[in-house]
Chains A and B, each alone.
Chain A
Amino acid sequence: MNQLLTISASPHIHTSRTVSWCMWQVIVALIPALVCAFYFFGIGAAIVIVTSILGCIATEYFITRYLLRAKPTIANGSAILTGLLLAFNLPSNLPVWIVLIGAVVAIGIGKMPFGGLGCNIFNPALVGRVFLLISFPAQMTTWPLPGENAWNYVDATTGATILGAMKLGELSPDGIDLWAKAVGFAGGSLGEVGAVALLLGLAYMLARRIISWHIPVSIIATVALFSWAIGADPLVQVMSGGLLLGAIFMATDYVTSPMCHRGMLIYGVMIGVITVVIRQWGAYPEGMSFAILIMNGFTPLINRYIKPRRFGERRSSI
């Protein structure tokens, strides 16, 4: 034996999961929604998604390479995921330059100033989205009608979303075709239109144990219960707007959500409550993004005060 032996502390074996594997699994879970987006919004979806992803990658590369002078971190897939999620939160006819601003804000303000992956307090994709929503309210709230003009990026026929119309009193809850909503024939951002596709993604992530059920289930259950309690139609509320996209893909972001299951439940319930409050009594028709960002801000506090039940702290059952 001439080789030198490696000495290190246990454990000596390691899971095959890596950070980039986790990121790519989420991207895989987004494939059904991606297919939906292409089907309903056609070329517009492709333009927005590609722009958003490239914008996020370029911003992260530029910052790590030229400002931080560190090794670029593109390979871990998190910038791609942020770009994809940002695109899913945008209307498909949004001009390219606005999408680019969103991408730069998401990575350049939402993520890198905090120290990059793992250190950001707020979900970067939502930071980008909300920045655009406040800066470009008109462009951000006109959605092309899905299906009708898939190959027309510039002058698509547009319409309001169900929630928007309800807010303005143009639509009564009875006039909503839930089946159409479930498969995607209703206006909305790229990733908001196909409830079934989003739920498929949830099923995949739960099966691969990428996320646990606590956050999505607590958000959806809270919204349904709370809506029902104040007299709104729970199904419409759950299936509308960014709720499913938010509950399944945005609120479950590892970095900005609590670490233990009890904390996750509190976080999820609070997101549900805030969402319904904004939808019902706030100025905006849609409250999911704000609710998630608000609870992102509470996550460190939740982590500090909500601890997992430690072994041996239960009274023994002799």
Chain B
Amino acid sequence: MLHTFHKGGVHPPQSKLTASQPIIDIELPRKVVVTFSQHIGAIAVCDLKKGDHVTRGQVIAHAAGFVSTNIHTPISGKVVKLDRCKTAFGHPADTVTIEASDEDHQSDLDAIESLSPVRDDDTAMSLASEELIKIIDDAGIVGLGGATFPTKVKLTPPPGSKADILIVNGVECEPYLTNDHAIMLANSEDIVRGIRLLMRAAKVDRAVVGIEANKPDAIEAMTRAASTCRAIEIMPLKVKYPEGGEKQLIEAVTGREVPSGGLPISVGAIVQNVATALAVSDAVRYGLPLMSRVITVTGPSVKKPGNYRVPIGTDIRSLIDIAGGVPSDVGKIILGGPMMGKAVVSIDAPTIKGVSGILMLPLSMSRRREPEPCIRCGACVDACPMGLEPYLLATLSRFDRWEDCEDNKVMNCIECGSCSYICPAARPILDYIRLGKNKVGAAIKARRAQSK
């Protein structure tokens, strides 16, 4: 019996069009736009001026506090613009635009060509935990599963708590996305190195890599790469959404339930994505900061769907052009997967660290169905991985009953979308729950501020 989480879950069609396809390195762009808020936490501070020259891998914005992170430029060049522009979701964001001259471009290509390790494995593995965390911090590494929480924060547990297991997330339960799958095939050795470094940094002596059983080749590659390290276990998991949710994955692997309102560390677990482990390996072994990542560009009518390694800051439109351009029947473009990804308002915006996929859905799949009355079938209650009653929360929220929302644990919702997905009446359950979370979250904050 394969391990899995025990509460709720749904089985959306997997639609992994690009499964097992090799990673394609896209050409180094001549121009990038880098935003300063690519992570959860304080916006990074940029002290560059127009006309400054930067080199590839240089920090262009510094972490502004503990929960924040550095941002690096993926190309050498001149700062041509510092301004506010719109992100793909239409929010304003401070950005810097860097353009490479021919010499800059050539020197970057040479540097990529002649990449060599700055530390061998023995040296890397002899680094102390603090030194490793410093390297990870300097390299601007954030959780690449999508939440973009600064990795160093997760590695420095609050006083009094101690982790005993590192869980590495290679689940990739979102339909369509195959970026983690691709790196597990192409970079399994590097990922295993990254896991060992993360274990050392977090001072844990056991790691489990959870991979859904629909990726047998990735399970095989990772098992082979980890065969020399007995502390790392590769665990195939039963295919079920949202297995890659942090709390669900911890339960699937260890049987421990993160208490309501608690963090993974409260049950002794630290969860990191496989792509994060790869970034850690690159940072420690090659001295490379986080300035590129693998993005799945996909969709039912995309001409050349694939897994592309992309310098972070490349604009979304040129990445889509590489994948064959925007299909003529497009109706919706999503950053991330179809269950939790966000629809964009514009593709003339830069990629950021948290983008795992670009999904283009045809118009026929873009519109929601007309909602019908709730028939109280209980499918949402069955599907909720957090054991909540989505139908009730949605109704309470619809009638502005925020206190009842709070009593019914609206804040436990992880917004996985299983309830809205499964509802036969196509009711916008999660929309109402998000509204409830928003209101209740604000009320809790206000109460805290008052009691201080």
What is the interface of chain A, defined by CB distance below 8 A to chain B?
1, 3, 5-15, 17-19, 21-22, 76, 78, 115-119, 212, 254-261, 303, 307-314, 316-318
Contacts and interface: CB of A to CB of B under 8 A. Distances in A.
B344 A5 contact: yes
Contacts of B339: 10-13
Contact of A10 (B375, B422, B430): B430
B342 A314 contact: no
B56 interface: no
Contact of A14 (B326, B342, B369, B381): B369
A8 B257 contact: no
B42 interface: no
Contacts of B258: 312, 316
Given A119-B373, A318-B267, A9 B431 contact: yes
A16 to B, nearest CB: 9
| Chain A facing B: main interface SS | loop
4 closest Cβ contacts across the A-B interface?
A11-B417, A310-B387, A118-B373, A254-B377
Interface residues of B, number: 75
Contacts of B262: 312
Contacts, number: 176
A14 B421 contact: yes
A6 B368 CA distance: 10
Nearest to B258: A312
A316 B259 contact: yes
11 contacts: A10-B342, A11-B340, A18-B424, A117-B373, A118-B374, A118-B376, A261-B382, A308-B384, A312-B261, A313-B259, A314-B257
Given A9-B430, A318-B267, A254 B375 contact: yes
A10 B431 CA distance: 8
A308 B389 contact: yes
Interface of B: 7, 10, 12-13, 175, 247, 251, 255-262, 266-268, 326, 330-334, 336, 338-345, 347, 359, 361, 363, 365-369, 372-378, 381-382, 384-389, 391-392, 408-409, 412, 415, 417, 420-426, 428, 430-431, 434
A303 to B, nearest CB: 8
B361 A12 contact: yes
Given A10-B341, A259-B391, A318-B268, A3 B260 contact: no
B424 A12 contact: no
B257 A311 contact: yes
Contact of B330 (A1, A21, A119): A1
A237 to B, nearest CB: 28
Contact of A312 (B260, B376, B382): B260
A259 B378 contact: yes
B393 to A, nearest CB: 12
Given A3-B331, A21-B424, A318-B267, A311 B381 contact: no
A117 B375 contact: yes
A66 B430 CA distance: 34
Contacts of A6: 331-332, 343, 363, 366-367
A15 B373 CA distance: 16
Contacts of B374: 118
Nearest to B378: A259
Given A7-B345, A10-B340, 7 more contacts: A9-B434, A10-B415, A11-B420, A255-B375, A259-B376, A260-B381, A312-B412
A141 B261 CA distance: 58
B5 to A, nearest CB: 9
Nearest to A312: B260
